[in-house]
Structure 1
Amino acid sequence: MIRLLFVALAIFLFIDEGIAIKCYVCTSEHDKRCEDKNFNGDPAFMYDCSMDPNRIIPILHCRKAKYLINDKWIYVRSCNKRDNLTEAKDAEAYLCHADYCNSGVKYNTGTEIMIFSVLAAVMNFLRA
C-alpha cells in the first residue's frame, strides 16, 4: 500500500507540472527587460500556458532561446508545444518543464533529480 502511495505521488508531481505549466513569455526585440542581463522575473512576463487560446495539444515545456540577428542577440522566452528544438546557426535554445524555469541562463535539473533519487531510495528501502 505504501509503495502504491509513493508511485501515485511521483506520478502526480510529474503530471501536475506538465498540465499547468507557467512560463515567462517575452522577446527582447520588443522589450529590453527580456534580455538575460536585464531579466528579473517581471510579473508582466508571467503567463499560464494552459490558458493559451491557440493551444490544441498540452504545453509541456517552457522555452528560452537567443538568436543572433544582424549582429545583435534577440532573446525569446515562451511556452513550447514540442519536445524537440530545431538547431540553427547563431542560435541557442533550451526547454524545461517546471513553472517559470525559463528565467535563467541555464536550466538546473537538480530538483527533479533529487525527487527521483529520494523516491528511488524509499522504494528500495520498502522492498527490503
Structure 2
Amino acid sequence: MRIYLDMSCLNRPFDDQTQLRIRLESETIIFILQNFNLPQWEWISSEILQLEIEHIPVVEMREHLLLLASRAHHVVRLQQKEAKRAQQLKRMGLNAFDALHIACAESGNADIFLTSDQKLLEQATQIDKINLSVVNPLWLLEVL
C-alpha cells in the first residue's frame, strides 16, 4: 500500500491531545509511520512536504519532522507535470499547497492520500477527477 501523508498528518501528534478525535488520529498516524517498516507499506512524500517542514518556526519540531520525513521510501520531485496538474486541481477549488500535495501523490502512484484537514477532505470529495482516495487517517480503523 502506497500512502501519502500531508502536513496536517505529520503535525497531528503535536496538536492538543485532549480532544478524542485528535488523539485517535495521532495514534493512527504514529501506527502508520511505524508500519512503514513493513514491506507492504510504502511512504510516498514530496518536495512540497519538505518545503513546508523547512518553514516550521519551532526548531525542535522542524528538525524532528525533517528526520522523520527522511524515512520516506519515495520523494516526488516537483516538476512541470506536477505543477500543471496542481494548476488543474487549483481551478477545481483546492488551495495551492493542497493541489501540489495531491498532484505529487498522484505522480508518486500513491493509493491513499491521508489528511486530517477537514476542509481539504470536504473539497476533495467534491472533485471526481482526483486519481486516488483522499481520506482521514482514521480510515485505517475501517480497513483493519
Normalising by the residue count of structure 2, what TM-score does the alignment of the two structures yield? Answer: 0.24
Relative to its length, the structure with more helix (as a share) is: 2
